[in-house]
Amino acid sequence: MTGNAIATIDRFVAGDWGSTAMRLHLCERRGDEVVPIDRAAGSGVKFCDDFEAAFFDAAGAWFERDGALPVILAGMIGSNLGWVDCPYAACPADASALARHVRRFTARGIEIGIVPGLRCTNIFGLPDVMRGEEVQIFGLLAHPGWPRGRQIVCLPGTHAKWVVIEDGAVQSFFTSMQGEMFEILLAHSLVGRGLPQGAQRRPILADDDEFVKGVRVMIDDPSLATEHAVFAARSRFVTGDLAAADAPAFLSGLLIGAEAFDALGAFGARGIDVDAVTLVGAEGLMPLYALALERLGVAVRMVPAHSASIAGLSALVGAHDRAAAR
Amino acid sequence: MTGNAIATIDRFVAGDWGSTAMRLHLCERRGDEVVPIDRAAGSGVKFCDDFEAAFFDAAGAWFERDGALPVILAGMIGSNLGWVDCPYAACPADASALARHVRRFTARGIEIGIVPGLRCTNIFGLPDVMRGEEVQIFGLLAHPGWPRGRQIVCLPGTHAKWVVIEDGAVQSFFTSMQGEMFEILLAHSLVGRGLPQGAQRRPILADDDEFVKGVRVMIDDPSLATEHAVFAARSRFVTGDLAAADAPAFLSGLLIGAEAFDALGAFGARGIDVDAVTLVGAEGLMPLYALALERLGVAVRMVPAHSASIAGLSALVGAHDRAAAR
């Protein structure tokens, strides 16, 4: 392996290595900007039994060409089922606390850092954890324009996170199951029977009438809970009031409407009045949350998860470089 | 087939033929009492392609011996996937309305009645349906001691029903998905990963500490919604705060606590103050609902589903006999 001192300063490898997929990016700093210039993919943690081999199968060519680039990885790869067990950092946590908890080790002459997840006691007094989303949050916070004071960030997804940030630190967060509930209700419950599955389902858009109807049903009736609403996707279907092709959108509207309504209610019950939420997520999903939040009178800003993730990983590589230089 | 006029008056066949199982009972009237004297079982609707053959395979010996006994069946056997499509009767519905909607036909010389399900617009303004539970409800109502006035009945199960009854008629009902959510969360979501599955799970009892804790977590915090609570079963497990063997009980407590709290809240929002609930269900499940309801200050009466079902089917056979005699 040949080193190239200049390249190692300008480039690094940033990766999100989760349960189901490994996604690596070769990144290059250009002034204040970080540009992903190449990418590679591999097996997720749960399909992988030799993490070192899998990693170098995916990224090895970059090191062959550019030398011993630093590597920073986040996600389930740092769990007790991953490459190294990297315990959750406790909240409140700012970027420097997260950087201190990055686990560093060397494999085949390459220095690899794995980002810890975060743990907290959430606003309901329950323990909560995240692993992978934290780099997106600190990607936001690394932006020079990020405001001081208290901010609410929502990261929609399979297990959505609602995060309270204050003065650059994650104070606490709680997890919503609605993303995974949507999938398992359609795939495994009576509600999904007779409805299109997987790839047969059309994408749900924020201006889909049935999505909007689901949101409206939930937010217009504070006494309607998720568990009492969901069956309506089935009963409307069997009574001929809802077409099979439209039922997933209605169900999604119910679930996202409930999640947003209940999240704002929970913050409000603690004196946290939310007038704006920053969404960080997939570009197809954020507009659905935005619609529900805007109907609830909340201003929304959307940041693609991918760019927040690169920014966060980049900040952690940077934090390490600065720490090493001291 | 030999007839026996006396036997046909005293005996009848009552059956619950659902998606997953057919359960038939040979019943005998003894004064005011109906006694199941024999039983038979067969395939559920979704596993069956010749309903007539399946029925006579299970019950044929009774007709051989006792003659042309009347038969009354309830459940998915009356759906559009069943033996005859028996459309839902609309609420409000009393016992005579239900009896009028029973579909009667003759197969192999035996008169068979299939009970319709019920449909309504529920208290949330959404369509709702049930099929099978209605015979249990009318079994309760057929009891001479059933009080007049407004009563709330809850039928816990895979799809629990919360029913408003007034002066002998079902006014409306809504469906809770918590029973099926419990099963699919454990079997198919991240929450169930690493936890005991199916038969490895110990039965959950109402005095199980973790069940009680789950109920308490939900009812002590009105701002905590189901979708924001469920992940705690995972986060408590991964942070070492909850043993794998105890996690299903905690999850069940969260779900049942939320369901009961939210149901009472929804009734209360409509001026229906609930001071007592009649539970009709499986004998292992009712005490869990009773604990949650009693913690919420509600008096509970429990009626086993099996006896309510026999009473309801018996009343419908009786209603038909009386109608035929007019």
Give the angle subtended at the CA of B252 by the CAs of B247 and B255, to the nearest 5°: 125
C-beta separation of B190 from A180 below 8 A: yes
Assess A155–B contact: CB distance below 8 Å, yes or no. Answer: no
Are A266 and B231 within 8 A, CB to CB?
no
- In this predicted complex, what is the ipTM? 0.91
Are A269 and B222 within 8 A, CB to CB?
yes
pLDDT, tens digit (0-9, with 9 covering 90-100), for A152-175: 999 999 999 999 999 899 999 999
**If you measure CA to CA, which chain A residue comes closest to B266?**
A223
C-beta separation of A16 from A75 below 8 A: yes
Are A227 and B258 within 8 A, CB to CB?
yes
C-beta separation of B185 from A184 below 8 A: yes
Assess B251–A contact: CB distance below 8 Å, yes or no. Answer: no
Contact residues on chain B for A127, CB-CB shorter than 8 A:
232, 235-236, 239, 241
* Inter-chain Cβ pairs, chain A and chain B, closer than 8 A: 165
Parse chain B into domains and list their residue ranges.
175-305
* CATH class held by domain A5-132+307-325: alpha beta
Q: Which of residues 254-283 of B touch A (CB under 8 A)?
A: 255, 258-259, 262-263, 265-266, 268-270
Model confidence at A1: pLDDT above 50: no
Alpha helices in B93-246 (DSSP H): 95-100, 133-141, 178-188, 209-220, 226-229, 232-238
Binned at pLDDT 50, 70 and 90, residue A9 comes out as low
pLDDT, tens digit (0-9, with 9 covering 90-100), for A194-245: 999 988 999 999 999 999 999 999 999 999 999 999 999 999 999 999 999 9
Mean pLDDT of B136-156: 93
Q: Which of A268, A261, A237 is nearest to A250 (CA)?
A: A237
Query: How far apart, in whole angstroms, are the C-alpha atoms of residue B159 and residue B150?
Result: 23
Query: In the CATH scheme, what is the homologous superfamily, with its name and number, of domain B175-305?
Result: 2-keto-3-deoxy-galactonokinase, C-terminal domain (3.30.420.310)
Model confidence at B321: pLDDT above 70: no
Q: Determine the angle formed by the axes of helices A286-295 and A247-269, rounding to 10 degrees.
A: 60
Mean pLDDT of A309-325: 71
What single string gives the DSSP state of each residue in A214-256?
Answer: HHHHHHH-TT--HHHHTTHHHHHHHTTSS-GGGHHHHHHHHHH
Assess B172–A contact: CB distance below 8 Å, yes or no. Answer: no
Spatial strand order of the sheet with A89-90 comes to A89-90, A118-121, A127-130
Model confidence at B243: pLDDT above 50: yes
Assess A194–B contact: CB distance below 8 Å, yes or no. Answer: no
Model confidence at A73: pLDDT above 70: yes
Model confidence at A6: pLDDT above 70: no
What is the rounded average pLDDT for all residues in chain B?
A: 93
Assess A230–B contact: CB distance below 8 Å, yes or no. Answer: yes
Other CB atoms within 10 A of residue B251 CB = 29
At residue B203, the pLDDT reads 95
Are A235 and B127 within 8 A, CB to CB?
yes
Binned at pLDDT 50, 70 and 90, residue B4 comes out as very low
At residue B93, the pLDDT reads 97
Residue B19 three-state SS? coil
At residue B176, the pLDDT reads 98
Residue B8, judged by CB atoms within 10 A of its CB (0-12, 13-18, 19+), counts as middle
Cis before B92 (ω within 30): yes
Assess A221–B contact: CB distance below 8 Å, yes or no. Answer: yes
Query: How far apart, in whole angstroms, are the C-alpha atoms of residue A207 and residue A202?
Result: 13
Contact residues on chain A for B176, CB-CB shorter than 8 A:
227-228, 231
Query: How far apart, in whole angstroms, are the C-alpha atoms of residue A197 and residue A2?
Result: 50
Residue B215 three-state SS? helix
At residue B148, the pLDDT reads 87
Mean pLDDT of B105-118: 96
Model confidence at B46: pLDDT above 90: no
Q: Does A175-305 match A5-132+307-325 at the fold level?
A: yes
pLDDT, tens digit (0-9, with 9 covering 90-100), for A15-70: 999 988 999 999 999 888 899 999 999 999 989 989 999 999 999 999 999 999 99
Spatial strand order of the sheet with A103-107 comes to A33-43, A21-30, A11-17, A71-74, A110-114, A103-107
Query: How far apart, in whole angstroms, are the C-alpha atoms of residue A19 and residue A43?
Result: 9
At residue B318, the pLDDT reads 60
In this structure, what token pair is assigned to residue A31?
């002034």
What is the rounded average pLDDT for all residues in chain A?
A: 93
Mean pLDDT of B173-185: 97
Residue A50 three-state SS? coil
Other CB atoms within 10 A of residue A246 CB = 21
The proportion of chain B whose per-residue pLDDT surpasses 70, expressed as a percent, equals: 94
At residue B319, the pLDDT reads 54
Are A180 and B189 within 8 A, CB to CB?
yes
What single string gives the DSSP state of each residue in B219-278?
Answer: HH-TT--HHHHTTHHHHHHHTTSS-GGGHHHHHHHHHHHHHHHHHHHHHHHTT---SEEE
Q: What type of residue sits at position B139?
A: G
pLDDT, tens digit (0-9, with 9 covering 90-100), for B250-265: 999 999 999 999 999 9
